[in-house]
Amino acid sequence: MSSGEQNPVVPAVRVTDLTVAYGDKTVLWDIDLEIPVGSMVAVVGPNGAGKTTLIKSIQGLVPRVAGVVSIHGKPYEKQRKEVSYVPQRGSVDWDFPTSVVDTVKMGSYGDLGWIRRPGKKEHEKALSALEKVDMLEFAHRQISQLSGGQQQRVFLARALVQSASVYLLDEPFQGVDATTEKAIVRILKELAAGGKTVLAVHHDLNTVSEYYERIAIVNVGLVASGSVDEVFTSKNLMTAYGGKTSFFPERKSSRRAV
Partner 1 sequence: MLEFAVGLFSDYTARTILLGAASLGVVSGVVGSYAVLRKQSLVGDVMSHAALPGIVLAFIVMGVKEQLPIFIGAALSAVLAVFLINLVTSNSRIKTDSAMGMALSVFFGLGLVLLTYAQKIPDANQAGLDKFLFGQAEALVEKDVLVIGVTGLFALLVVGLFWKEFKLLCFDPDFGGTMGFSMKSLDLLVTAVIVSAIVIGLQTVGVVLMSSMLIAPAVAARQWTGSMGSMVILAASIAAVSGVTGVALSAGFENVPTGPAVIVCVSVIAFFSVLFSPNGFFTLRFKEARSRREIKKDYVLKALHDLALEHDDPGYAHSERLLALGSEKGFNVRKSLSQLQAAGYVERVGEEDWRLTPGGIHEIRKLSPLEKSR
Cβ–Cβ under 8 Å, residues 197 and 37: yes
Contact between 193 and partner 1 (CB under 8 A)? no
Which range of residues in 98-106, 199-207, 232-240, 244-252 is near partner 1 by CB under 8 A? Answer: 98-106
Contact between 1 and partner 1 (CB under 8 A)? no
Chain centre distance of CA 227:
17
Which range of residues in 67-75, 109-117, 201-209, 221-229 is near partner 1 by CB under 8 A? Answer: 109-117
Longest dimension (CA), the chain: 63
Contact between 97 and partner 1 (CB under 8 A)? yes
Cβ–Cβ under 8 Å, residues 61 and 168: no
Contact between 245 and partner 1 (CB under 8 A)? no
CB of 101 to partner 1, least distance (A): 12
Interface characters, 142-181, with partner 1 (x: CB under 8 A): x-x-------------x---x-------------------
In the set 85, 138, 173, 212, which binds partner 1 (CB under 8 A)? 85
Q: How many of the chain's residues bind partner 1 (CB under 8 A)?
A: 28
Contact between 47 and partner 1 (CB under 8 A)? no
Give the DSSP H or E segment for 70. strand 66-71
Cβ–Cβ under 8 Å, residues 132 and 161: no
In the set 109, 128, 234, 248, which binds partner 1 (CB under 8 A)? 109
Give the alpha-carbon dihedral of 191, 223, 204, 86, to 10 degrees. Answer: -40
**Residue 83 or residue 191: which is nearer to partner 1 going by CB?**
83
Q: How far apart are CA 199 and CA 180, in angstroms?
A: 18
Helix (H, G, I), strand (E, B) or coil at 235: helix
Cβ–Cβ under 8 Å, residues 217 and 44: yes
In the set 22, 66, 75, 98, which binds partner 1 (CB under 8 A)? 98
Contact between 25 and partner 1 (CB under 8 A)? no
Q: Is the dihedral of CA 143, 147, 151, 157 positive or negative?
A: negative
Residue 135 CB partners (closer than 8 Å, separation 6+)? 100, 150, 153, 154, 157
Cβ–Cβ under 8 Å, residues 96 and 179: no
Interface characters, 50-69, with partner 1 (x: CB under 8 A): ------x--xxx--------
Kindly list the residues in this chain that would bind partner 1 in the complex (CB under 8 A): 56, 59-61, 80, 83, 85, 87, 91-93, 96-99, 103, 106, 109-110, 112, 114-115, 117-118, 142, 144, 158, 162
